[in-house]
């Protein structure tokens, strides 16, 4: 790559924060923040086809069912659909008593008044006031100085306070956002927010929300955390202020920024399901909440049925979810790598034997069952897969506990097939390969009948009588040995002059109950040193073992 083609000189380093004895790196998150969903506003405005009222209702109901207590439901002064949706959920009493809706408005008098009109009759609501404060917005977009920009925030706050006093039967709370906080000088952002706080005059019983966004994510998460800690140290009347963050994902670290911000003192987090939102999206609340969950912290949101949540999200937003999306993607609990599959297989078996149910399985940060997933898709088989993963599929999906010595042989067969077709194999296709190779293999010999004829007490030998189909000829053989299987092997060797040694034998039941079938696995070695395995299934374990011997001989 020619670095001169990348015009990195056009960009400048984001400034660090001068902060002494920062505390946030040593602060673990031990409690979930106050969550606020912005799916119906910030997420919705980023859709190529915004949700209609019916879809917004479905999304609202989903968010309530997940457990959100604060939901930003729209920008009622921005469009008729937004306005009518807010009116509908208020008029039809669709808002649960323990849920507070939030509505967004710019700091403009006409928009603020329209917003309050939409809230008529609401029991409680957060009015979310914002105006942009960054240097580039002040100079390029608004062409106003710092005092003029501050005046916009102050006048907007005064109007909301006046209109609140007219809402006699409604509890109205204020959230103020210095939009483009990430591009705003810290001391100036503090100055503007302090002016808003002075006008609103909050108390510990009636707090104001100060929301500090990475409207555009411009720094590493640690610098954002420094900004939040600095702000929390400096803000006046701190006991009456809730510090909130709203992180975007332009640098791909919105979740990390929000997490570190909470460590730095933020008490509230805004975000959207699966990170939906402008440009690279909002902070993904699913990921952050389940990150807490994976650390033993109650997320206070219910993601135990992630599949249902995905279905409603896709239907309402027309958006897809990346198969590698943390916790929710189709492939996130799936291993193709052979070493990963083997470790997961062994880890799940060890987990099942633990006395204390503390999750600790390689490559699985949480138990897929805890979010409504099953183990069926944890291990999938392609050309990169190994013996452990294939053994897992055979045992967990089909009940076959392949002996460890046999696993490499079957894995080679599966790998050959996946390389030939250039695709992964389904669990049914793997079972079909197993059946064709071991159970239904049409080799030279087929067992027609078999009985234990008698036992010779003096010689302590078992005598068996069996009929073998050898190509076009059926041959009756009587043989004796140290048991039914040994007698059968002796008869085969003597009758057909075949030399081999049995090197392994194992068996187990395929199912529970009186009608359970038994499966036997037998490994044999030829005089040339070539080893193969055979498998037999029958209700009678002796006959299952005989079938396994014939399976191995036919494959040899």
- Quote the pLDDT of residue 424: 78
> Which CATH number covers residue 122?
3.20.20.70
Helix (H, G, I), strand (E, B) or coil at 476: strand
Between 149-153, 283-287, 409-413, the lowest mean confidence (pLDDT) is in: 409-413
**Of all residues in the chain, what percent carry a pLDDT higher than 70?**
95
Whether residue 198 is found in the same domain as residue 224: yes
Query: Residue 554: CB partners within 8 Å, gap ≥ 6?
Result: 441, 442, 443, 444, 445, 534
User: Hey, which bits of 53-164 come out as E strands?
Assistant: 70-74, 100-106, 124-132
CB under 8 Å to 488, separation ≥6 — which residues? 450, 464, 466, 479, 481, 546, 549
d(Cα 186, Cα 135) in Å, to the nearest integer?
A: 11
Residue 348 falls inside a structural domain = yes
Which of 368, 274, 283 is closest to 322 using CA atoms?
274
| DSSP state letter for 527 | T
Domain that holds residue 470: 445-555
The count of other CB atoms within 10 Å of the CB of residue 383 is 17
| pLDDT at site 376 | 58
Same domain, 199 and 242: yes
Q: Are 264 and 412 within one domain?
A: no
Total number of residues shown for the chain? 556
> Taking the C-alpha atoms of 134, 185, 240 and 214 in order, what is their torsion angle to the nearest 10 degrees?
60
- Do 139 and 224 lie in one domain? The reply is yes
Q: What is the mean pLDDT of residues 455-484?
A: 81
Do both 500 and 422 map to the same domain?
Answer: no
- Which of 143-155 are b and which e, b meaning 16 or more Cβ less than 10 Å from the residue's Cβ? eeeeeebbbbbbb
Evaluate if residue 101 carries a pLDDT over 80.
yes
List the structure tokens of 75: 């920008």
Give yes or no for a contact between 199 and 161, defined as CB atoms under 8 angstroms apart. Answer: yes
Structure tokens at 184: 């705003």
Give the pLDDT of residue 382.
58
Confidence label for 374 from pLDDT (cuts 50, 70 and 90): confident
- Asked, for residue 38, whether it belongs to a domain, the answer is yes
> Which residue carries 């405005």 as its tokens?
45
Same-domain pairing of 160 and 44: yes
What confidence tier does 415 reach under pLDDT thresholds 50, 70, 90?
A: confident
Alpha carbon dihedral 434, 439, 441, 447, in 10-degree steps, equals 170
Alpha-carbon span 553 to 537, nearest angstrom: 16
Torsion on CA atoms 65, 71, 77, 83, rounded to nearest 10: 20
> What is the β-pairing status of strands 171-179 and 208-214?
parallel
Per-residue tokens: 426: 């389904």
The residue with greater pLDDT, 447 or 513, is 447
What strand order describes the sheet that includes 461-470? Answer: 445-456, 461-470, 473-481
Q: For residues 41 and 46, give the distance between their C-alpha atoms in angstroms, rounded to a whole number.
A: 9
- Residue 475 belongs to some domain of the structure: yes
Looking up residue 529, the CATH number of its domain turns out to be: 3.30.160.270
- In this predicted model, what pLDDT tens digit does every residue of 346-369 receive, in sequence order? 888 899 889 888 999 998 999 999
Contacts 24+ apart (CB under 8 A), 237-241: 237/197, 237/202, 239/204, 240/197, 240/202, 240/203, 240/204, 240/206, 240/207, 240/208, 241/197, 241/202, 241/207, 241/208, 241/209, 241/210
Same-domain pairing of 419 and 451: no
Number of domains in the chain: 3
What local confidence, expressed as pLDDT, does residue 377 receive? 59
pTM: 0.77
Instruction: Kindly report the number of other CB atoms within 10 A of residue 141's CB atom.
Output: 11
Q: Select from 386, 410, 439 the last residue of a domain.
A: 439
387 forms beta bridges with: none
Q: For residue 259, which phi and psi values (nearest 5 degrees)?
A: -60, -45
Do 490 and 452 share a structural domain? yes
Write down which residue in 422, 439, 456 finishes a domain. Answer: 439
Q: 125 with 100: CB under 8 angstroms? A: yes
Q: What is the pLDDT of residue 341?
A: 76
Average pLDDT over residues 137-143: 90
The torsion angles phi and psi of 543, rounded to 5 degrees, stand at: -70, -35
Quote the pLDDT of residue 3. Answer: 58
Q: Which of 439, 465, 486 is the last residue of a domain?
A: 439
CA pair distance 304, 379, nearest whole angstrom: 21
Does residue 311 lie within any of the structural domains?
no
- Distance between CA atoms of 303 and 62, rounded to whole angstroms? 11
Residues 78 and 145 in one domain: yes
Q: Report the SS3 class of residue 3.
A: helix
Number of other residues whose CB lies within 10 A of the CB of residue 170: 16
On whether both 105 and 254 belong to a single domain, the answer is yes
pLDDT digits over 205-226, tens only? Answer: 999 999 999 999 999 999 999 9
What pLDDT, on a 0 to 100 scale, did the predictor assign at position 191? 98
In sequence order, what are the beta bridge partners of 364? Answer: 361
156 within a domain of the structure (yes/no): yes
Residue 8 inside a domain? The answer is: no
pLDDT over 70 (residue 496):
yes
pLDDT tens, 71-87?
Answer: 999 999 999 999 999 99
pLDDT tens-digit map of 156-179 = 999 999 999 999 888 999 999 999
Show contacts of 487-496: CB within 8 Å, 24+ apart.
487/461, 487/462, 487/463, 488/450, 488/464, 488/546, 488/549, 489/549, 491/464, 491/466, 492/445, 492/468, 492/549, 492/553, 495/468, 496/470
327 occurs within a structural domain: no
Is the pLDDT confidence value at 514 over 70?
no
Does any domain span residue 185? yes
Residue 303, CB-side half-sphere exposure with 13 Å CA sphere: 26
Same domain for 238 and 294?
yes
Pairing verdict, β 531-538 and 241-247: unpaired
Give the C-alpha separation, 114 to 78, whole Å. Answer: 9
User: Which residue is associated with the tokens 């608004």?
Assistant: 142
My answer on whether 435 and 493 are in the same domain is: no
- In this predicted model, what pLDDT tens digit does every residue of 270-313 receive, in sequence order? 999 999 999 999 999 999 999 999 999 999 999 999 999 999 99
What was the pLDDT predicted at 331? 85
Instruction: Measure the CA–CA gap between 541 and 507, rounded to whole angstroms.
Output: 8
């Amino acid at each position: 790559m020619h670095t001169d083609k990348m015009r990195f000189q056009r960009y400048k380093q984001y400034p660090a924060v001068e902060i002494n004895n920062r505390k946030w790196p040593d602060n673990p998150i031990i409690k979930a923040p106050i969550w606020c969903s912005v799916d119906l506003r910030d997420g919705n405005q980023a859709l190529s086809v915004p949700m209609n009222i019916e879809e917004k209702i479905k999304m609202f109901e989903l968010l309530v069912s997940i457990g959100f207590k604060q939901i930003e439901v729209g920008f009622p002064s921005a469009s008729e659909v937004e306005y009518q949706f807010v009116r509908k959920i208020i008029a039809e009493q669709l808002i649960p008593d323990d849920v507070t809706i939030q509505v967004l408005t710019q700091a403009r008098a006409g928009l603020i008044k329209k917003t309050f009109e939409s809230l008529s009759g609401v029991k409680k609501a957060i009015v979310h006031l914002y105006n942009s404060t960054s240097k580039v917005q002040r100079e390029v977009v608004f062409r106003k100085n710092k005092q003029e920009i501050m005046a916009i925030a102050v006048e907007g706050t005064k109007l909301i306070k006046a209109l609140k006093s007219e809402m006699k039967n409604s509890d109205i709370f204020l959230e103020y956002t210095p939009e483009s906080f990430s591009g705003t000088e810290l001391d100036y952002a503090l100055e503007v927010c302090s002016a808003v706080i002075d006008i609103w005059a909050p108390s510990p019983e009636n707090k104001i929300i100060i929301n500090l966004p990475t409207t555009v994510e411009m720094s590493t998460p640690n610098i954002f955390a420094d900004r939040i800690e600095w702000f929390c140290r400096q803000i006046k009347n701190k006991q009456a202020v809730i510090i909130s963050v709203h992180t975007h994902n332009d640098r791909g670290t919105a979740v990390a920024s929000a997490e570190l911000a909470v460590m730095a003192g933020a008490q509230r987090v805004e975000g959207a399901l699966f990170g939906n939102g402008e440009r690279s999206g909002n902070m993904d609340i699913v990921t952050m909440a389940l990150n807490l969950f994976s650390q033993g912290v109650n997320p206070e949101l219910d993601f135990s049925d992630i599949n249902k949540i995905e279905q409603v999200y896709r239907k309402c937003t027309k958006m897809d979810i990346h198969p590698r999306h943390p916790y929710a993607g189709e492939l996130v609990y799936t291993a193709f790598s052979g070493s990963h599959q083997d470790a997961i297989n062994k880890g799940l078996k060890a987990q099942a034997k633990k006395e204390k149910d503390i999750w600790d399985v390689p490559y699985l940060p949480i138990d897929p069952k805890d979010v409504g997933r099953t183990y069926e898709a944890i291990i999938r088989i392609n050309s990169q897969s190994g013996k452990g993963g294939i053994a897992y599929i055979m045992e967990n999906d089909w009940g076959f506990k392949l002996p460890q010595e046999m696993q490499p042989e079957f894995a080679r067969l599966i790998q050959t097939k996946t390389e030939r077709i250039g695709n992964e194999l389904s669990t049914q296709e793997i079972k079909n390969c197993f059946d064709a190779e071991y159970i239904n293999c049409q080799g030279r010999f087929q067992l027609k009948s078999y009985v234990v004829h008698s036992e010779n007490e003096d010689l302590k030998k078992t005598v068996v009588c069996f009929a073998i189909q050898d190509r076009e000829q059926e041959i009756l053989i009587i043989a004796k040995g140290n048991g039914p299987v040994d007698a059968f092997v002796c008869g085969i060797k003597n009758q057909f002059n075949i030399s081999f040694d049995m090197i392994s034998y194992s068996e187990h039941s395929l199912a529970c109950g009186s009608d359970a079938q038994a499966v036997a696995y037998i490994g044999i070695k030829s005089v040339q040193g070539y080893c193969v395995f055979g498998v037999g299934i029958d209700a009678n374990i002796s006959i299952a073992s005989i079938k396994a011997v014939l399976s191995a001989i036919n494959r040899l």
